[in-house]
A = this chain, B = another copy of it.
């Protein structure tokens, strides 16, 4: 059994780095707050006897030796960055839970056969730089390191510049730390476990993701003197796209979602019809065929709206992550650990993307979910209970012990 109070203490101690007035955390990747939590994490890993290295994209790896160092390490961890208005648990539970597993094994004097590696992946959230889960995507070879280093945030700062500015461009090449498998603990970020009164979600799959950048070019014109029929209003165009996205997602059933999270009017003024809007779109499904249908329906709807409104709409698919099917053996290991520990559980699909989904493309991976209050995440009000977080961390530890061997 892990030390529940110590786990809870480290979650709340690190929540000071970027704490918001509403009880959440604002810790965008590679920001100054992210540097603070990284420094804390490195020290804590070193204090726990781990050998810590940072790779060229800033991901932190803390290695605990195993009896048989020829075996590839069991990877555990998640991320410490947050949304602009994020919570205290998303990613953080999985990273500090992994640290707690190490501390517990140390206290109990348990040596494992295979080594264990704790990881804090850079930019899981994808708010400041696209795509999300950027560093683990480079780790598995979906993108080159140079490509990722050149990605820009809204201010034009590159990942490389941001890494340098906080001193976290590590000296190890991406992929230097081989892993044999990866297990990630996370809050569910959805309402199912809580609604069904289950403590552990045994994650067997994850939704695929489509991310688009969009740009609408209408025509700026005077709000008072331009008759309604003559307008080429970029905001009215966006509005139709938002509602089309909503109804297309609904049409494809419970297994699809679609969101427009960002939309910025260029040079806005009360008495000017908006002429240009930049926006993003996020579509997901756990079913690859539905993802294709979402893409097709969305493009058709946008083409129709743009033509009817005599407005240009450009859509650029910037990221496509196929649905994830986690490793059956690891799924069973998580399920058995929950059973052994006496926690109620159910199989579940992840609505969110996770670093484990990327790792699963080149190694066995799995995830452990715990409930979060009202399914709320990506919100400062995100909440989870200490018993649930403790349970999830116990399941993580017992899964690791089963895989690594004692």
The chain A residues found within 8 Å of chain B, CB to CB, are: 83-85, 125-127, 130, 132, 188-191, 207, 209, 211, 219-230, 233, 235-236, 238-240, 242-243, 246, 249-250, 254, 256-265, 267-275, 280, 282, 284, 350-353, 375-380
Known pairs A221-B379, A242-B239; A254 contacts B227 (CB<8 A): yes
Give the chain B neighbours of A130 by CB distance below 8 A.
270
Give the chain B neighbours of A249 by CB distance below 8 A.
228
> Complex formed: what's the CA distance from A260 to B272 in Å?
8
- Taking a contact as CB atoms under 8 Å apart, the answer to whether B378 and A257 are in contact is no
- Taking a contact as CB atoms under 8 Å apart, the answer to whether A271 and B127 are in contact is yes
Known pairs A242-B236, A254-B227; A221 contacts B376 (CB<8 A): yes
Residue of B nearest to A284 (CB): B224
**Smallest beta-carbon distance A244→chain B, Å:** 10
Known pairs A239-B238, A271-B127, A271-B261; A224 contacts B83 (CB<8 A): no
Which among B207, B256, B271, B351 is the interface contact of A378 at CB below 8 angstroms? B271
19 chain-A/chain-B pairs, Cβ below 8 angstroms: A83-B267, A84-B268, A126-B270, A132-B271, A189-B222, A222-B352, A223-B282, A223-B284, A226-B375, A227-B254, A228-B256, A229-B250, A233-B259, A239-B240, A239-B242, A243-B243, A261-B265, A262-B265, A271-B378
* Secondary structure call for the A interface: loop
- Taking a contact as CB atoms under 8 Å apart, the answer to whether B262 and A377 are in contact is no
Give the chain B neighbours of A378 by CB distance below 8 A.
220-223, 269, 271-273
> Complex formed: what's the CA distance from A240 to B229 in Å?
19
> Complex formed: what's the CA distance from A259 to B126 in Å?
33
